[in-house]
Amino acid sequence: MATTPHFFSLPSLLIASVVIFLLSSVASAIGVNYGTLGNLPPPQQVVDFIKTKTIFDSVKIYDANPDILRALAGTGINVTIMVPNGNIPAMANVENARQWVAANVLPFHQQTKIKYICVGNEILLTKDNNLISNLIPAMQSLHKALNISGLPDMKVTTPHAFTVGYNLNAPSQSRFNDDQKDFFAKILEFNRQAKSPFMISAYPYFMMDPNNVNYAIFGPSNAITDTKTEHTYNNMFDSVMDATYSAMNALGYGDVDIAVGETGWPSACDAAWCTPQNAENYNLNIIKRAQNIGTPLMPNRHIDIYIFALFNEDGKSGTAEKNWGLFKPDFSPVYNVGVLRGGETSPPPSSSEKWCVAKQEATDAQLQANIDWVCSQGIDCKNISPGGICFDNNNMKTRSSFIMNVYYQSKGGSEDACNFSGSGVVTTTNPSTSTCVIQNMEDGSIHMETTNIDWVCSQGIDCKPISPGGTCSEFEINMQTRASFIQYG
C-alpha cells in the first residue's frame, strides 16, 4: 500500500527540485563504512578506489585489520577502527588496553590517521551483562592507554543503536528510556571528559511508518511540526537527530558532539521501499547533512557521518543485509549518489564558493528594505513568504539572507551586488539550514535537493510535464533542460 505514492512521486521530486537548488556547498566531510563480509577486492585496491575515485575523506572499519590500516597509510583519510566486542572485558584492565594499542595502533599510527577508536559495537543490543558492565571501564582504560602511549588526541567512543524513546510528533520531548538513563549518563560523562563524540547508528529505515516511507527517504511528505518547539521537520533523519540531542540535553549533556557511525538505505529487500532510487535519494540527502547544515535544534552543527556501506556484502544473510552498498564488489555503482569524483552529480570543491548574507549588526528595518527592494526587481519571493521554505519562524536574517543571496547570485556574484548599503556581506561559509538551502552557482553545477517538492508543485507551477508520463519526464533528458522547463515553462 505504501508503494504507489512513493513510486509515483519520486521521479518528479528529483527533477523539479533541481530547479531551485543550483548549488552546492559540499564541504567534504563524509565517511563510509567499509565492511568486509563478502567476496571483495583486496584492501589496497579498495583504498585506492576510495582515495582516487570518491569524495569520502573518512573510513570506518569493524576491527583493526592490519592490511586495511596499512593500505590506508599516507592517504590522509581519517580512519575509525573498532575493538571487537569480545575484547571488552579484558580491555577493562589498563595493561591489556596498552598492549592492544601497542599491537593495533602504534604500528600504523601517523602514516595512517586513526581518528576514533570504537570500543565494541552497539553493546546494549547484545544484552550481555559482562560486556555491558565492562564497556565504560574498557573505554576509560583505552583512553588512559592511549595517553600513556603518547596519543592523547586519539578519541575513544562506542556506537549505540538508536534506543532513545522517540517522540515522532515532538522530537524535542524524546528521552532516554528510564532503565538506560544511568548507563547513558555515564557514557556521556566519559564522552565529555575524553572530548569524544556520542556515536549513534541512525536508521529511519528501521523506524519508519510503512505508510509514510517518503518521510524517511527525504521524499515529499507532510512536514511534522514539533508540538512543543514548533520547529518543522520535513524528514525523519533530522527529527531523529534532534530526538537524540534532546535526550542528551535532558541529562545535561547537550554540549557533547554527536557522530553518526552508521546510516543508509538498502537498494533491495523484500519490501517495496527498498529501491535504488530510494537509497539514492536517502544518501544524497545524508551527504548534504554532512556539510554542517545542522538541524532545527542544532543549527550549523558539525556532525561526522558515516554512510553504511561502501559495498554490497554477499557474505551476509538476508536480501536487505546484502544490499546496503553504494558499490558492487567490482566498484561499479549500485546507483549514483554523487560520491564519485568527476561524476555528473559529484559535489564540487567548496573552497571558492560564496554567498551573500545579512550582516550580523544589520537592523530589521534595513533588512526589510532589502527584501522589498529585491522583490520589486522581478525576483521570485515565494520562498520567503508564508509557507515558503525559508520563511523560517519569521526569522528576518534567514529571510533577508536568502533573498539577498538570490539577487547576488543573479548578478554573477559581483561584490557590489551584496553591498545593500552596507548591510550585506559576502561569506564562504554556507548559510543554509536544514530546511532553507541557500543556493550557490559558483561553477554552475547542479545538485539535487529533495525536501521541498511539495512547495514547488504547490506554487502554481505545473508539475505534470516532469511527472511520469509527462513530456519531460525521461530521466535521460539533460538535467538543465528539465530545470529550465520548470523554471520558465
Active site residues: 122, 262
Comparison of 58 and 239: residue with beta carbon closer to ligand NAG: 58
Closest CB 418 distance from ligand NAG, rounded Å:
9
Closest CB 421 distance from ligand NAG, rounded Å:
5
Closest CB 420 distance from ligand NAG, rounded Å:
8
Q: Which of 292, 293, 425, 294 is nearest to 355 (CA)?
A: 425
Comparison of 78 and 263: residue with beta carbon closer to ligand NAG: 78
Closest CB 137 distance from ligand NAG, rounded Å:
14
Pairing verdict, β 113-119 and 155-157: parallel
Q: Which of 438, 392, 447 is nearest to 418 (CA)?
A: 438
The number of beta carbons lying within 10 Å of the beta carbon of residue 74 is: 13
Our CA angle for 445, 338, 465, nearest 5°, is 65
439: β partners: none
Q: How far apart, in whole angstroms, are the C-alpha atoms of residue 146 and residue 188?
A: 19
Closest CB 370 distance from ligand NAG, rounded Å:
12
Comparison of 77 and 274: residue with beta carbon closer to ligand NAG: 77
Comparison of 368 and 421: residue with beta carbon closer to ligand NAG: 421
Q: Is 182 helix (H, G, I), strand (E, B) or coil?
A: helix
Q: Which of 362, 408, 368, 365 is nearest to 384 (CA)?
A: 368
C-alpha cell at 397: 536574517
Q: How far apart, in whole angstroms, are the C-alpha atoms of residue 17 and residue 65?
A: 42
Comparison of 297 and 418: residue with beta carbon closer to ligand NAG: 418
Q: How far is CA 61 from the centre of its chain?
A: 19
Closest CB 21 distance from ligand NAG, rounded Å:
25
| H or E element at residue 79 | strand 78-83
Cα-only R_g, the chain: 23
C-alpha cell at 162: 538508536
Residues that bind ligand NAG (CB under 6 A): 29, 57-58, 76, 78, 115, 143-144, 147, 152, 416, 419, 421-422
Sequence-ordered alpha helix ranges (H) in 195-332: 204-207, 213-216, 236-250, 276-289, 319-322
CA dihedral for 163, 167, 170, 176, sign (positive or negative): negative
Closest CB 276 distance from ligand NAG, rounded Å:
28
Residues 6 or more apart whose Cβ sits within 8 Å of residue 178 = none
Comparison of 147 and 385: residue with beta carbon closer to ligand NAG: 147
Q: Is 148 helix (H, G, I), strand (E, B) or coil?
A: helix
Residues 6 or more apart whose Cβ sits within 8 Å of residue 290 = 29, 30, 31, 303, 304, 305
Query: With 0-12 CB in 10 A as exposed, 13-18 as middle and 19+ as buried, what is 477?
Result: middle
C-alpha cell at 333: 555503482
Tell me if 232 sits within 8 A of 157, measured CB to CB. Answer: no
Q: Which of 111, 102, 35 is nearest to 71 (CA)?
A: 111
Closest CB 161 distance from ligand NAG, rounded Å:
24
Comparison of 213 and 371: residue with beta carbon closer to ligand NAG: 371
Comparison of 78 and 285: residue with beta carbon closer to ligand NAG: 78
Tell me if 169 sits within 8 A of 226, measured CB to CB. Answer: yes
Closest CB 400 distance from ligand NAG, rounded Å:
16
Q: How far apart, in whole angstroms, are the C-alpha atoms of residue 153 and residue 146?
A: 8
Direct distance between the N- and C-terminal alpha carbons of the chain, in angstroms, rounded to an integer: 33
Comparison of 34 and 485: residue with beta carbon closer to ligand NAG: 34
